[in-house]
A and B are shown apart, each in its own frame.
Chain A
């Protein structure tokens, strides 16, 4: 039996994790989790800053899904205030959110390819991801941390030139994504490393509270955009992508198909984009109230809870990120699997990926423990599979 520690380095709010894997032979027997390496105390800091300043902090909870966090934040504050943003702002929120989902899923697809040693796909996907990064930069002025949302609306408007460029970019992305799906479905090296790996049954996905693509790849049809619509999602109908595969392969396919669905939503939102104001003025002081806001971030259900006390600073602000929600399910997936599959199973929930730098292996048969970094674990995985 070997004990492996995976982690700790990993970036978002409270999501850097360290996993202690107890192993026996080639199997994982038990998993223990420790996060907090990147705990920056944002919730406390938010009580100490004004609502406008917190917009800046909320953006920086996570750099990959920053727009999901600000959307969730402004929705909570708007509910505290009892105001509604103008319709045009709601559509622009949908467009930014979907472009962000495309960038996040492509990023993940590349990382997943890297985890199974398929670096060619990694480089191709990241090359094409630059198309959507350009679009985000075009509409917001920044590639990451777009600062599009503000309390009562959005900060930047779209013009006809933006719309044309976005539509053109989406056409290219659609063609490329279809190409990737075709390739992934046939590529033996992908199939060999992902089919029947990291199994999470539908019942377990519900029991362990999995969210987002992780749950949907286990056949759980849940998506906050559809079930608890916010922004303009009730006016841009879409399909909730699910798969009954319950393994890492299903997680790849679900995310790839969600890219196509996001492209459709963006097109629909651009077509229906109403005219009018993009924001309303709001007061800096917020009367005592509470609000619960939910958003479907690229990684799943994101939840913010806010309570105001009549001043310009919140009384309490709570953030529950999707990676934390997926950790119990992840532990379930790892137990009983091969050590060689740990990197791809970990990547399967799309944690903010830098988290898994070091691995400590405790071999219970040999009564020893050693620290592996992820590179060594990856290499072990590739060699192990090449011998089979």
Chain B
């Protein structure tokens, strides 16, 4: 096994065993955000899956988006997405990030996140319970694992 192969194996292993997340609110009401935060605290504790919340997009593998996308936030959201290193994954948390929900026809709202870039996992709910958010992450990790195997 060459050094390069060994290196990429470690990367794959790290990506599925300890994905780092950046959380971005694009216009949501805070409901999903507090539930995402609750998922990090002792009762739910997603850190036991190696999931760590990071402040910088350059360190993140997964972008967790909450809220409908507003016009004013659109550029910043795109910039954050572009700053993330490849391969990157997106998880849309809550019905607003999935489709725009009750704000879909608002004058300052674009709609769901998938209008701007592809989404890997949708977690509907208003807001989804921490259990549902954890399931979303579990599904995403499974998806990453399968993709890595197929490569």
Contacts and interface: CB of A to CB of B under 8 A. Distances in A.
B31 A145 contact: yes
Contact of B29 (A37, A48, A61): A61
A143 interface: yes
Contacts of A36: 72
Q: Size class of B's contact patch?
A: 35 or more
Interface in B42-72: 42-43, 55-56, 66-68, 70, 72
B105 A45 contact: yes
Nearest to A124: B42
B38 A130 contact: yes
B27 interface: yes
A66 B126 CA distance: 12
A354 interface: yes
Contact of B103 (A45, A66, A122, A375): A45
Interface stretch (B10-18, B106-114, B141-149): B106-114
Contact of B70 (A40, A110, A129): A40
A123 to B, nearest CB: 6
Nearest to B37: A126
A37 B27 contact: yes
B11 to A, nearest CB: 24
B116 interface: no
Nearest to A54: B102
Contact of B31 (A66, A110, A122): A66
Interface string B1-38: 00000000000000000000001111111111111011
B103 A40 contact: yes
Interface stretch (A7-15, A167-175, A183-191, A360-368): A7-15
Contact of B55 (A13, A45, A123, A374): A374
Interface string A115-157: 0000000110011011001000000000111000000000000
A126 B30 contact: no
Interface in A1-25: 8-13, 16
Nearest to A56: B102
B67 A39 contact: no
A120 B142 CA distance: 32
Contact of A375 (B25, B55, B108): B55
Interface of A: 8-13, 16, 36-42, 44-45, 48, 56-57, 60-64, 66, 107, 110, 122-123, 126-127, 129-130, 133, 143-145, 352, 354, 357, 373-376
25 contacts: A13-B29, A16-B27, A37-B70, A38-B25, A40-B68, A41-B107, A41-B109, A42-B103, A56-B102, A60-B101, A60-B126, A63-B127, A64-B30, A66-B31, A107-B34, A122-B41, A126-B41, A127-B42, A130-B43, A143-B127, A144-B35, A144-B127, A354-B23, A354-B30, A375-B56
